[in-house]
């Protein structure tokens, strides 16, 4: 039995048909074609499926889609403004915070919720906020760096990391 659902995803109202027992994760990925949100465990243990619900990070694998009607769902697909990347996306790309990239969408959404309320988050605050998002590749440091950089970029404190990268690249390679 499928239910008609009205979801507001990334500012766009979508009508979808889905069984009432389907999670938000399944509906986003399989009914809305939004596969940016990742499936890591479906147990609420890895954070790969994190999306924002009315601005708060939730694990989409633990939320039923029917609970989300008339609420604001934000996913990684809605993070950029057209071609203009969100500072978090820019910083993650340029500072190498995405390795295989599988944990990245969940990291980005959790970080967005943090920066929206606390753009100048300290290292410990970033670590605390992202403690539920697992990453098997990066060793986390570049993610912390990128989140802090993005926050400071949005407040005008920092230059986009692109500039940093070009400076480094211009320095070339030194031996030894």
Partner 1 sequence: MSIEDRKVKLVLGFAADRQEVELTIPDEEPTPWDLESKFSVVGGKHARVDALAKVTGRAKYTHDINLPGMLFGGFARCPHAAAEITSVDAAEALLVPGVKAAIPMTQDRVRYAGQPVCALAATTRQALAAGIAKVQAVYKVLPHAARIDQAMADAAPLVHRNQQSNLSGSGQPRNAETVAAELEKSAKVVRATARTQVQTHASMETHSSVAKWDGDKLTLWTSTQATFGVRSQVADALRIPEANITVICDFMGGGFGSKFGAGYFTAIAARLAQECGAPVKIALDRREEHTDTGNRPDSIQEMALGVSTDGKLGAYSVKIHGTPGIGRGAGARNPMIYDFPREMRAVAQVEVATNAGPQAAMRAPGHPQGSFALETIMDLAAEAIGMDPLEFRRINDSNPVRLQQYSDGAKRIGWEQRRKNGSATGRFRRGMGVGSSTWGGLGGPQAEVDCKIFRDGSVQVRNGAQDIGTGAKTVMAVVVAEELGLPLTKVSAFMGNTSDPIGPASGGSTTAPSIAPAARQAAYLAGRELKALVAKHLGVNADKLLMKAGRISTAEGKGLAFEEACRLIQSGEISARGKRRSNFRTYRDGVAGVQFAEVEVDCEYGLVRVVRIVALQDAGIIINRLQAESQVNGGVIQGLAYALMEERVMDRQRGHQLNADFEAYKVPGMKDMPEIECVLYDIANGGNNTSVCGIGEPTCIPTASAIAGAIHNAIGARVLSLPMTADKVLAALAQRESGK
Residues that bind partner 1 (CB under 8 A): 19, 21, 26, 29-30, 33-43, 45-46, 48, 75-77, 79-80, 85, 88-89, 92-96, 98-105, 108, 126-128, 130-144, 164-165, 168-176
93-122 binders of ligand FES (CB under 6 A): 98-103
Contacts of 148 (CB under 8 A, 6+ apart): 121, 123, 126
Q: Tell me the torsion sign for CA atoms 112, 116, 118, 120.
A: positive
**Smallest separation (angstroms) from partner 1 to the CB of 130:** 5
Out of ligand FES, partner 1, none, which partner does residue 34 contact, by CB within 5 to 8 A per kind?
A: partner 1
**Smallest separation (angstroms) from ligand FES to the CB of 106:** 8
C-alpha 118, offset from chain centre? 16
Coil, strand, or helix at residue 17? strand
Of the candidates 25, 26, 6, the one whose C-alpha atom is nearest the C-alpha of residue 17 is: 6
Out of partner 1, ligand FES, none, which partner does residue 159 contact, by CB within 5 to 8 A per kind?
A: none
């Amino acid at each position: 039995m499928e239910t008609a659902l009205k979801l507001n995803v990334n500012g766009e109202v979508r009508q979808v048909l889905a069984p009432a027992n389907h999670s938000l994760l399944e509906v986003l990925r399989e009914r809305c074609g939004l596969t940016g949100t990742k499936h890591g465990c479906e147990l609420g243990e890895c954070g790969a499926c994190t999306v924002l619900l009315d601005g708060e990070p939730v694990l989409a694998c633990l939320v039923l889609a029917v609970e989300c009607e008339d609420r604001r769902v934000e996913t990684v697909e809605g993070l950029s403004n057209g071609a203009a990347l969100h500072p978090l996306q820019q910083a993650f790309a340029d500072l190498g915070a995405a390795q295989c990239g599988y944990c990245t969408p969940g990291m980005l959404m959790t970080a967005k919720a943090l920066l929206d309320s606390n753009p100048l988050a300290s290292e410990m605050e970033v670590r605390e906020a992202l403690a539920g998002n697992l990453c098997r590749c990066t060793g986390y440091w570049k993610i912390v760096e990128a989140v802090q950089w993005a926050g400071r970029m949005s407040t005008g404190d920092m230059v986009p990391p692109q500039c940093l990268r070009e400076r480094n690249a211009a320095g070339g390679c030194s031996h030894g």
